[in-house]
Every structure is written in C-alpha cells, then in structure tokens.
Structure 1
C-alpha cells in the first residue's frame, strides 16, 4: 500500500510539473518534445540527452512565433527520432536564464546540440526538413547514425 501511495504522488507531481511548463517530461520520456516553457528550463539538464530547439519571441502573438510552432508540431516523429526538445520564451520582460544567455532580439529560433553548443540561429521560421538536415550534419548525429547502422547490421548477421 505504501508503494502504491508513493507511486500515485510521484505520478501526480510529475504530471503537474509538465502542466506547469517544467521540462521534466522532456528528460524522462523520449517521445515528449514539448513545447515547454524556457523560464523553467536549464540547458545543462539536456546536456548529452537532448537537442534543444529554443523559440524566442517578444509576444506569443508574433506571427513568426506562431508559424514556427506550427512547423515544429507538423512532423513530431522527425524531432523525436533526433532527440529534440522544444523550449519557448515569449516574455522578454522577465528574462529566463536561457534568454539571458542567448540574447535574442525579437523572434529567433536557436538549435543547440547535445554538447550544449549553439549550432544554428535563425531570425525567421524554419521548417522541419531544414532543421533535420542541420541536425543530420552534426558530428554527434553522424556518429549516432553510424552506431545505429552497426547495431542493425549486427542483428541481421545473428
């Protein structure tokens, strides 16, 4: 009974954290890509685990922001396959740590590698195809693909 109560409480608080915008689910669930509120996020939490795509705007009503979110939500499986998490920040009046670090001016889409380095900054919306091509050219992604192919070849040979 004690374990059941602990499970219920831990599940409730995990779901509540995600509902409030905390990116906890982004770390635990490989299919959880967001978008999550960047105010509650810390880029170091994603180091070597996920590739954050951070979308900045001065307001959620910015047409470029809306378009970027539409584009990101159009093909979630492509982002899941590349271990992407989407973070959003639309409030420059209360700057998040991520906003302070990346210093966007108005709308900006930033792609960060698993190593924590900024790989791409764009002042206009990018579609999934462009983002996935940029990710697929990253050295760490190339290594991941090579390892996946080797594992598949090993399975076929067994």
Structure 2
C-alpha cells in the first residue's frame, strides 16, 4: 500500500514543479527591461518600492503569488523595481515615490496607479475593464449575434 502512495506522490511532483515554473515566468525584475518589450504582447503590472523590505512591497508580492493563474490568463507580467539608484526604464518613465502599483495595457497606456497593495481579484477586475482586454474576451467568447 505504501508503494502505491509513493508512486502517486511521485506523479504529482512534476506537476508542482511545472506550476512553480509557470509562476516564476511572470515575475521579472525591471533591470534592463523596457516598456517597449511588452508592447502588444503582455500587460505589465509594475510594483515599485524603495527597498525590497518595504512592507507594502512584501504584501503586494504575497498577494500576487496567491493566484498567478488569473494573471497568466490575462497575459500579465509582474515587473518589480526596488532599487531607485538603478534608474530602470520603468522608474524613469513612471517616477514612483515609495511603494506604487502601476498597471499598463498591451498598447503601452498606463491605465491605473495605486499607492497601496491590491489583491489579484482587484487587479483582474480592473484589467477586465480595459478596452483591449474586453476586445480579447469578445474574440475568445463571441456571442451568437
């Protein structure tokens, strides 16, 4: 009996590793990235802070990691920037002060800025109201008209 349990457990390990790999693919550091890299490809959700120890930054990242699947469905990439001295392209463009959550649509337009952490549900509801996201949903799920 224990052999069967072990075999079943071994079957689920690759699935957990795949899920973790999928989650990691959407979390990037700003570094040398530019907004143009994501134009018409992904929806950048930017998380700024002056230090990686900022409590709002830590809370925001915790909230985002709770449900990465909903973000992946909406072509979101989470870009973090916790080094003001590095002056990333995103930091130069948005000029955040302290913690800031910035959402962009695929066309590169900044659609929302928030000074406090948001959970995935709030973020996905906001994204679902973006014009391009609405158009994508209509294309994915056309009505019978």
Query: Structures share a fold, TM > 0.5?
Result: yes
Equivalent pair of 1:39/1:98 in contact (CA under 8 Å): no
Are positions 1:33 and 2:40 aligned together? no
Could you tell me how far apart the structure 2 residues matched to 1:39 and 1:121 are?
21
The one of 139, 142, 157 aligned to 2:131:
139
Q: Which runs of 4+ in 1 moved over 6 A?
A: none
Could you tell me how far apart the structure 2 residues matched to 1:77 and 1:106 are?
28
The one of 107, 110, 123 aligned to 2:115:
123
Segments of structure 2 that go 5 or more residues without pairing to the other structure are 1-21
Could you tell me how far apart the structure 2 residues matched to 1:45 and 1:37 are?
14
SS of the aligned residue for 2:137 comes to helix
Are positions 1:108 and 2:108 aligned together? no
Q: Partner residue of 2:19?
A: none
TM-score (norm 2): 0.80
Q: Deviations over 1:75-106 (max 9, x none)?
A: 01000000000100001112111101100000
CA RMSD of superposed structures (Å): 1.8
Are positions 1:91 and 2:75 aligned together? no
Could you tell me how far apart the structure 1 residues matched to 2:84 and 2:40 are?
28
After TM superposition, give the deviation of residue 32 of structure 1 in Å. 2.5
SS of the aligned residue for 1:70 comes to helix
TM-score (norm 1): 0.74
After TM superposition, give the deviation of residue 132 of structure 1 in Å. 0.3
Residue correspondences, number: 123
